[in-house]
Amino acid sequence: MSSKEPHSKRPANTAFKQQRLKAWEPILTPGPVIISFIIIGIVFIPIGAVMITASKDVVEKIARYDNLDECSVGSVCNVTINVDQEMKAPVYLYYRLENFYQNHRRYVKSRNDDQLRGVIVKDYSALQDCDPLKSEGDSQDPSKFYLPCGLIASSMFNDTFIMRQGNKTVPLQKEGIAWTSDKEKKFKNPPADAPGIRIIPDFEDEDFIVWMRTAGLPDFKKLYRIINQDISGEVTIQVTSNYPVDSFDGKKYIVLSTTTWIGGKNPFLGYAYVIVGCICFVQGIAFFIKHKVSPRKLGDPKYLEFSK
């Protein structure tokens, strides 16, 4: 309230305060728009074509086996696949489950990362997420804890496959089916004397690590083995069927596939590119024709008289 020095209240003349910052003000005039549509068309169609070709190069063979009588749970059976096109090494052997909700919330959260890293978890409350499979009889005694706890580990896929061509066994490579980062950091065996009830004997088992990386959709493939030789002709896969799927109307498949730079067989994205490319191209042409036939004069003042 003390007397102020008289000074002007004139606002500062800065670009920001006066809203005069230098700016680029693009507007969607016909030229740039038509050109961008046509360019999108021209770029997308070939990309799509290349992807379709790449997808066509992939050889993929699928065989369902849970519906075969001889492959019922608890039995060993042979599934024959006819590889009519040569599959170049490396060939990947997958199992595929359908109608299995590995992405169910109850399922996804049911794990404990500390346990899986080999840390001894003694606090019962830390196993909260593993609900409903925390410990035997929900006991708070660490020696009764499941190791590892949770639904994912307890429901691990346990069918096994042996592949034969003729009467020769095809060697299947297990190493490298899991992510190296998972192997290095996320999964470590606990000390041998760790208290608890072992559900999985070896936490560093790559099959287990693969299983623990839950799938995004209820119909999923998981990498089982890598085959480092070319395959053609008839192959037989001997399945030891342990995994029950009847309780949830699931289906079990064996998949053999090669890959290219886009991965496995997947023409969808390629077609999508081609289709969208075509639409954009046609749209560009249509806009061009419209612009040529009945152009709207830019800045035509008659539209300024606001009518609507």
Partner 1 sequence: MSLLQSGLGGSNNMKSSTNSTTSLNPMNRSTGSHLEIPLKELKSNGIETDEIDIDLTPSNFPWYKKIYYYITNADQFIGVSRKIYVLNQSKNSEYRYCNNYVKTSKYTILSFIPKNLFEQFCRLANVYFLIISAFQLIPGVSPTGRFTTLGPLLVVLAITAVKEAYEDYRRHQQDDKVNHSRTQVLRGDHFQEIQWEELEVGDVVRVTNRQYIPADLLLLSSSEPGGICYIETANLDGETNLKPREALEETSQLQEPQQCVQGLQSAMIHCEHPNNRLYTFSGSVDMGNGDKVVPIGVKQVVLRGAMLRNTKWINGVVIFSGKDTKLMRNSIGTPSKRSSVERMTNIFIIFIFTFQLLLCGLCAIASGLFTENSKDAFYLNYTGSSAQNGGMSFMTFLILFNNLIPISLYVSMEVVKVFQAHFINNDLDMYHSESDTPALARTSNLNEELGQVGYIFSDKTGTLTQNKMSFKKCTIAGIVYGRDKSLAQNPSLSSITIPSNSNGNDVQVQQVVDLEEGLQQNQQQLLNQTFSHIDFKDPSLLFNLANHGTSETIREFMVILAVCHTVVSEVEGSTVTYQASSPDEYALVHAAKHFGFEFLSRTNKSITIRQQGRTEEYRYDILNILEFNSNRRRMSVIVRTPEQKIMLYCKGADSVIFERLSPSQPFADKTINHLQEFASEGLRTLCIARTEIQESTYQQWSQEYYTASTCINEREQELDRVAEIIEKNLFLLGATAIEDRLQDGVPETISLLRDAGIKIWVLTGDKQETAINIGFSCRLLTADMELIIINEQTKENCIIEINRKLDEINQQEVKNSMALIIDGNTLMYALDDGIAMSLLKLGVKCKSVICCRVSPLQKAQVVNLVRKNLNAITLSIGDGANDVNMIQTAHVGVGISGEEGLQAARSSDYAIAQFRFLARLLLVHGRYSYRRISKLICYCFYKNIALYLTQFCFTIFNGWSGQTYYERLTLTAYNVAWTFFPVLALGILDKDVSENACLSNPKLYTAGIKGYHFNTMVFLGWLLNGLYHSVVLFAFPAAIFRLGVPYEDGKTIGLFEMGTVSYTCVVLTVNLKLALETKRWTWINHLTTWGSIVIYFLWLIIFGKFFEIESFDVGSDLYSVIYKLGTCAEFYLTIIFVPLLALWRDFSWKYVKRNIFTRGYHIAQERDQEKKRSPSYHSNLQNSTYSFSQESTAQNDHK
Based on the shown chain and the rule CB under 8 A, indicate whether residue 5 belongs to the binding site for partner 1: no
Binding mask 153-182 for partner 1 (x = CB under 8 A): -xx--------------------xx-x-xx
Our CB check for partner 1 shows the closer of 154 and 160 to be: 154
Our CB check for partner 1 shows the closer of 8 and 67 to be: 8
Based on the shown chain and the rule CB under 8 A, indicate whether residue 237 belongs to the binding site for partner 1: no
Q: Which of 113, 136, 141, 234 touches partner 1 by CB under 8 A?
A: 113
Long-range Cβ contacts of 116-125 (<8 Å, 24+ apart): 116/148, 116/186, 116/187, 116/188, 116/203, 116/212, 117/185, 117/186, 117/187, 117/188, 118/187, 118/188, 118/189, 118/190, 118/191, 118/203, 119/190, 120/190, 120/191, 120/194, 120/195, 121/145
Our CB check for partner 1 shows the closer of 168 and 261 to be: 261
- Site size toward partner 1 (CB under 8 A) is 100
Restricting to residues 87-106, name those near partner 1 by CB under 8 A: 90, 92, 94, 100-106
Q: Which stretch binds partner 1 (CB under 8 A): 18-26, 72-80, 163-171, 231-239?
A: 18-26
* Cβ neighbours of residue 170 closer than 8 Å, sequence gap 6 or more: 163, 164, 227, 229, 231, 235
Residue 62 forms beta bridges with which residues?
255
Based on the shown chain and the rule CB under 8 A, indicate whether residue 1 belongs to the binding site for partner 1: yes
Restricting to residues 120-159, name those near partner 1 by CB under 8 A: 128, 131-133, 151, 154-155
Based on the shown chain and the rule CB under 8 A, indicate whether residue 288 belongs to the binding site for partner 1: no
Based on the shown chain and the rule CB under 8 A, indicate whether residue 293 belongs to the binding site for partner 1: no
Length of the chain: 308
Distance, in Å, from the CA atom of 64 to the CA atom of 135, rounded to the nearest integer, reads 35
Hey, how many other C-beta atoms are within 10 angstroms of the C-beta on 84? 10
